[in-house]
């Protein structure tokens, strides 16, 4: 509640507090309070400023959009102010706005996607700049990072000069898979998506499963023939931009009813949504209403409350991941939340525990959004003492350590039983080797009995078959399923075996990239690691950053890893990739191609590179002494210079078209 006795003091306090949370949210991507709590602070400040106009200053966070600007990026002055949205959690407030704006008007109703805002600037039909919202007036140029999202058209079918606004996000499933690959470092898809577009190295961004939905277009000159939101959507569809599902256009009268049906769906959405966006359909009306310094008067965000429920921490234990990461978990008095019973909620790490002041006996608020693991969000009644993580691994007593600059503690003992167990669970899981019948429970039993201590033991498990049949809960049928699935897993190729053994930084995507570049077996990788220019060769591969290269080369020289793989090969597992759809025409065998510039017939230019790999060639992302050909088009830069210097064969688009014709390769 506003403290009436000294508004100036409270206003100053609130501004400082809001600024702090803005920075945590937009710049660090690690918010410490919920959106609702944040919005309450802003509302309190707004009402104080309204009651005390003399306290209003232009720099107040109520008059500015929260800024994401970071010093390491070049800046871009937006062509039109990139604003925020005024939001409400309350249907009465929304109705009042509808009445004021026109209940009989048409409105668009869309999901409010929880990611990072982005502007795509096109000049004469070519994508020139991708820019963050920044301060609303200027933004950070993150073009190369955003261009890694393949669904963004690089060229339009008409030479329009426009800016397209959208939201970059990640689905829950992609987030979980990615996060699993990186040892569970990231808190939620929104923070990961927003952090990803601000990475230093586009190659690191390319590995992240980012997506985009666009929702608006700004025109540099007159928007001839475009008078409704509907026309904008038609244009975006025609130019093949990705659009969010379920968007609809309805009258103000039926809006609240329609919102109800969106609400029913919201917890089942595959990507994070934090509300709905309602916008006037008529663009002329929009323009006559105009905007405040912060948000348009013709749109509102209707936000959903994050589901929060109170319970008590009964105990705190730990998950020890396959990478050794220790995650403290609160065992809570069971509560039902978003249709499931919650008994555990994550406490992430010691820093998080300290910030919350969490401990055994504390009363806490638990949240669940989408499919993410529930988390402890807030302490409402403090514990007797704040919890402190043990110094040693609870499973093997190894001293816990921090790796690099991470906030997490790790057990570095490779033979730690909990790590081993989780490696086995990961190996057998559906997305990996898909060994049906071997779920967490079964693996745990075999592990405790000492029958399966490590991955290779799975393939000699049949010596315990009779004993297994004697166990409770293992019938003929279920045991047959297990052994059939183990046998069948031997058919899985390198695309699965390599990521399944759980080497850090080496997940499915990296594996796929390695295979595409000709490293389609363990043997080839090991040979590569022994060669002098291993690092140079890996660096030339697009999509593999320095951190991955480091990790990969370490694994490929590590004795235990080498032993593990050779044992698995002896047991009949495949550590080479099956041939994929390759053409009989293989004119590019033995050649290594690089590409630069843009092309008329190949958009995106990967289309050309795919032809080369399909017909036997290798593609590389940088020109080196090993590159044999450079395919170049307008806009070619330093690669062309370097290739000329090194005597690489230069191939223009028309040369390439002739070559394809000569070889009888059709255009896709
Ligand atoms: N928890 C915290 O500490 C903290 C701190 C700062 C901000 N926040 C949250 O962020 C909000 C303010 O952020 P904001 O200024 O980005 O505004 P916002 O998130 O409330 O709304 C504007 C944004 O919505 C996004 N959006 C998604 N789908 C859209 C669609 N279909 N149409 C239009 N826009 C769409 C756009 O990126 C746009 O920038 C606050 O309300 C608060 O909830 C939280
Ligand atoms: Zn341990």
* Same domain? 101 vs 163: yes
What is the chain's alpha carbon radius of gyration, rounded to the nearest angstrom? 28
414 alpha carbon – ligand 2 mean position (Å): 8
Is residue 281 located within the same domain as residue 198? yes
247 CB less than 6 Å from ligand 1? no
Q: Which of 112, 198, 420, 639 is catalytic?
A: 112
* 416 annotated to a ligand binding site: yes
Q: 375 or 212: which carries more pLDDT confidence?
A: 212
Tell me how far the alpha carbon of residue 410 lies from the centroid of ligand 2, in angstroms. Answer: 8
Q: Which two tokens stand for residue 529?
A: 């690691």
Q: Hey, whose CA ends up nearest to atom 23 of ligand 1?
A: 84
Match 């407030």 to its residue by tokens: 93
Asked if residue 429 and residue 397 are part of one domain, the reply reads no
Q: Are residues 336 and 398 in the same domain?
A: yes
Query: Residue 581 domain-assigned?
Result: no
Answer whether residue 581 shows pLDDT above 70: no
Q: How many whole angstroms separate alpha carbon 644 and alpha carbon 652? A: 13
Q: What is the mean pLDDT of the chain?
A: 90
pLDDT at residue 183 is higher than 60: no
Clarify whether residues 472 and 402 are in a common domain: no
**What pLDDT digit, counting tens, does each position of 625-635 carry?**
888 999 998 87
Residue 443 lies in a domain: yes
Kindly report the protein residue whose alpha carbon is nearest to atom 14 of ligand 1. 84
Q: Tens of pLDDT along 355-377?
A: 899 999 999 999 876 556 788 98
**Would the pLDDT of 580 be above 90?**
no
- pLDDT confidence of residue 5: 66
* Residue 655: inside a domain: yes
Of all residues in the chain, what percent carry a pLDDT higher than 90?
62
Which residue's C-alpha comes closest to atom 15 of ligand 1? 84
Percent of the chain scored above 70 by pLDDT?
Answer: 97
587 located within any domain? no
List Cβ neighbours of 248 (8 Å cut-off, separation of 6 or more).
Answer: 108, 109, 258
User: Which CATH number does the domain housing residue 631 bear?
Assistant: 3.40.50.10190
Domain boundary residue among 537, 570, 603? Answer: 570
SS3 333: strand
Q: Are the C-beta atoms of residues 471 and 445 closer than 8 Å to each other?
A: yes
**Encoding tokens for residue 496?**
């699965």
Task: Please say if the pLDDT value at position 113 is more than 90.
Answer: yes
Residue 384 included in any domain: yes
pLDDT of residue 269: 87
Is the Cβ atom of 348 under 6 angstroms away from ligand 1?
no
Say how many Å lie between the CA of residue 113 and the centre of ligand 1. Answer: 9
Question: Cβ distance 251 to 105 under 8 Å?
Answer: yes
Domain boundary among 434, 469, 489: 489
Q: Is 303 annotated as a binding residue?
A: yes
Rounded distance between C-alpha atoms, residue 79 and residue 416, angstroms? 57
Q: 189: how many CB neighbours lie within 10 A of its CB?
A: 28
Q: What is the DSSP string of 197-222?
A: TT-S-HHHHHTS--EEEEEEEEESS-
| CATH classification at residue 45 | 1.10.287.610
**Does 89 fall in a domain?**
yes
Q: Does the structure's ipTM exceed the value 0.85?
A: yes
| Stretch among 311-315, 336-340, 612-616, 644-648 having the lowest mean pLDDT | 336-340
Q: CATH number of the domain at 431, please.
A: 1.10.150.20
Residues 288, 337 within the same domain = no
Does ligand 1 come within 6 angstroms of the Cβ of 112?
yes
Q: Cβ atoms within 10 A of the Cβ of 615, count? A: 19
Q: CA torsion angle for 499, 501, 505, 508 (degrees, to 10)?
A: 10
Domain extent for 15: 7-55
Per residue in 17-27, is it b (16+ CB within 10 Å) or e — as a string? bbeebbeebbb
Cα gap 172→188, rounded to integer Å: 8
Task: For residue 198, say whether it is annotated as part of any ligand binding site.
Answer: no
DSSP 599-654: -SSSSSTHHHHHHHHHTT-EE-SS--TT--EEEE-TT--HHHHHHHHHTPEEEEHH
- Range in 338-342, 344-348, 508-512, 662-666 with the lowest mean pLDDT: 338-342
Which helix H or strand E contains 596, and what residues bound it?
strand 592-596
Instruction: Write out pLDDT tens, residues 51-106.
Output: 999 998 888 998 888 889 988 899 999 999 999 999 888 899 999 999 999 999 99
Kindly report the CATH number assigned to the domain that includes residue 105.
3.30.470.30
Q: Is residue 60 part of a domain?
A: no
476 and 355 co-located in one domain: no
Band (pLDDT 50/70/90 cuts) for residue 2 is very low
133 appears as a binding residue in the annotation: yes
Question: Is 381 in a helix, a strand, or coil?
Answer: strand
Question: What's the CATH code of the domain at 520?
Answer: 1.10.150
281 and 355 part of one domain: no
Q: What is the pLDDT of residue 185?
A: 65
Q: Is the pLDDT of residue 3 over 50?
A: no
Helices (H) and strands (E) counted in the chain, each on its own, are: 24, 22
d(CA 538, CA 529): 10
d(C-alpha 485, C-alpha 435), whole Å: 5
* Same domain membership, residue 535 and residue 507: yes
Ligand nearest to the CA of 108: 1
Residue 130 assigned ligand-binding role: no
Looking at residue 584, its pLDDT comes to: 74
Q: Mean per-residue pLDDT for 398-407?
A: 83
Unique residue bearing structure tokens 């779920």? 439
Q: What is the pLDDT of residue 30?
A: 77
Please report whether residue 216 resides in a domain. Answer: yes
Integer angstrom CA distances of residue 388 from 353, 392, 393? 8, 12, 13
Nearest CA to 513 among 545, 555, 544? 544
Domain harbouring 313, CATH code = 2.40.50.140
605 CA to centre of ligand 1 in angstroms: 34
- With a 6 Å cutoff on the Cβ, whether 187 touches ligand 1 is no
pLDDT at 371: 53
| Ligand 1 contact via 113 beta carbon (within 6 Å) | yes
Instruction: Count structural domains, the chain.
Output: 6
- What is the maximum span of the chain, computed from C-alpha positions, in angstroms? 86
The long-range contacts involving 179-188, CB below 8 angstroms and separated by at least 24 positions, are 180/426, 181/499, 181/505, 181/507, 181/508, 182/504, 183/321, 183/323, 183/325, 183/408, 183/504, 184/321, 184/325, 184/327, 185/406, 185/408, 187/30, 187/348, 187/375, 188/272, 188/369, 188/372
Q: What is the pLDDT of residues 522-546, one digit of tens each?
A: 999 999 999 999 999 998 887 788 8
How many angstroms separate the CA atoms of 650 and 533, rounded? 24
pLDDT band at 118 (very low <50, low <70, confident <90, very high): very high
Same structural domain for residues 235 and 104? yes
Half-sphere exposure of 261 (CA within 13 A, CB side): 9
The residue among 376, 410, 444 that closes a domain is: 410
**Which of 33, 44, 84 for a ligand 1 pocket mutation test, highest count of atoms within 8 Å of Cβ?**
84
112 included as an active-site residue? yes
Task: Look at residue 583 and tell me whether its pLDDT is greater than 90.
Answer: no
Burial class (CB in 10 A: 0-12, 13-18, 19+), 159: exposed
279 with 311, same domain: the answer is no
Query: Tokens for 187?
Result: 């808190």
Burial class (CB in 10 A: 0-12, 13-18, 19+), 70: middle
Q: Please tell me whether residues 124 and 155 are part of one structural domain.
A: yes
| CA–CA dist 41, 44 (Å, integer) | 5
436 closest CA partner among 378, 475, 481, 403: 481
- Average pLDDT rounded to a whole number, residues 270-276: 92
């Amino acid at each position: 509640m506003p403290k009436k006795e000294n508004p100036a003091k409270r206003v100053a306090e609130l501004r400082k507090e809001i600024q702090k949370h803005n920075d945590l949210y937009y710049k660090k991507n690690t918010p410490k309070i919920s959106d609702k709590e944040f919005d309450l602070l802003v509302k309190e400040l707004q009402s104080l400023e309204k009651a005390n106009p003399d306290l209003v200053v232009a720099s107040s966070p109520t008059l500015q959009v929260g800024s994401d600007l970071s010093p390491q990026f070049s800046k871009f002055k937006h062509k039109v102010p990139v604003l925020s949205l005024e939001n409400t959690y309350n249907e009465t407030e929304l109705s009042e706005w509808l009445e004021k704006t026109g209940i009989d008007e048409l409105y668009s109703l869309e999901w409010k996607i929880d990611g990072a805002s982005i502007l795509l600037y096109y000049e004469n039909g070519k994508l020139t700049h991708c820019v963050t919202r920044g301060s609303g007036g200027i933004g950070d140029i993150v073009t190369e990072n955003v261009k890694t999202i393949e669904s963004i058209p690089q060229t339009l079918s008409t030479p329009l000069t426009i800016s397209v606004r959208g939201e970059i996000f990640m689905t829950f499933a992609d987030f979980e898979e990615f996060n699993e690959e990186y040892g569970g470092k990231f808190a939620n898809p929104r923070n990961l998506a927003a952090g990803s577009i601000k990475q230093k190295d586009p190659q690191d961004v390319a590995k992240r499963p980012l997506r985009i939905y666009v929702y608006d277009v700004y025109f540099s000159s007159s928007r001839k023939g475009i008078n409704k939101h509907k026309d904008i959507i038609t244009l975006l569809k025609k130019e093949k931009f990705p659009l969010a599902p379920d968007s609809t256009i309805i009258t103000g009268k039926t809006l609240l009813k329609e919102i109800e049906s969106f609400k029913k769906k919201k917890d089942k959405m595959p990507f994070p949504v934090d509300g709905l966006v309602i916008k006037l359909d008529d663009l002329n009306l929009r323009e006559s209403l105009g905007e405040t310094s912060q948000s348009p008067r013709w749109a509102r965000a209707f936000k959903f409350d994050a589901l929060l429920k109170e319970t008590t921490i009964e105990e705190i234990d730990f998950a020890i991941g396959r990478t050794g990461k220790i995650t403290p978990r609160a065992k809570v008095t069971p509560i039902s939340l978003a249709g499931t019973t919650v008994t555990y909620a994550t406490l992430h790490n010691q820093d998080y525990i300290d910030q919350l002041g969490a401990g055994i006996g504390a009363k806490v608020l638990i949240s669940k959004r989408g499919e993410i693991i529930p988390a402890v969000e807030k302490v409402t009644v403090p514990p007797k003492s704040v919890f402190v993580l043990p110094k040693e691994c609870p499973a093997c007593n190894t001293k816990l350590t921090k790796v690099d600059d991470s906030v997490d503690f790790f057990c570095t003992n490779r033979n730690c039983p909990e790590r081993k167990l989780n490696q086995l669970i990961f190996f057998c899981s559906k997305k990996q080797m898909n060994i049906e019948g071997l779920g967490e429970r079964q693996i745990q039993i075999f592990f405790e009995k000492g029958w399966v201590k490590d991955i290779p033991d799975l393939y000699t498990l049949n010596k315990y078959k009779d004993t297994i049949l004697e166990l409770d809960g293992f019938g003929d049928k279920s045991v047959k399923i297990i052994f059939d699935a183990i046998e069948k897993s031997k058919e899985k190729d390198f695309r699965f075996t390599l990521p399944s053994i759980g080497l850090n930084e080496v997940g499915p995507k990296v594996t796929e990239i390695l295979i595409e570049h000709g490293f389609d077996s363990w043997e080839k990788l090991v040979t590569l690691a022994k060669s002098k220019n291993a690092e140079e060769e890996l660096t030339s591969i697009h999509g593999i950053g320095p951190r991955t290269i480091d990790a990969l080369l370490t694994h490929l020289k590590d004795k235990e890893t080498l032993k593990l793989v050779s044992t698995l090969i002896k047991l009949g597992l495949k550590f080479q990739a099956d041939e994929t759809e390759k053409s009989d025409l293989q004119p590019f065998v033995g050649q290594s191609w690089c590409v630069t510039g843009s092309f008329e017939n190949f958009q995106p230019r990967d289309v050309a590179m795919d032809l080369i790999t399909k017909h036997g060639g290798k593609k590389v992302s940088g020109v080196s002494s090993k590159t044999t050909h450079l395919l170049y088009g307008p806009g070619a830069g330093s690669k062309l210079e370097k290739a000329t210097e090194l005597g690489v064969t230069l191939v223009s688009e028309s040369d390439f078209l002739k070559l394809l014709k000569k070889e009888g390769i059709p255009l896709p």
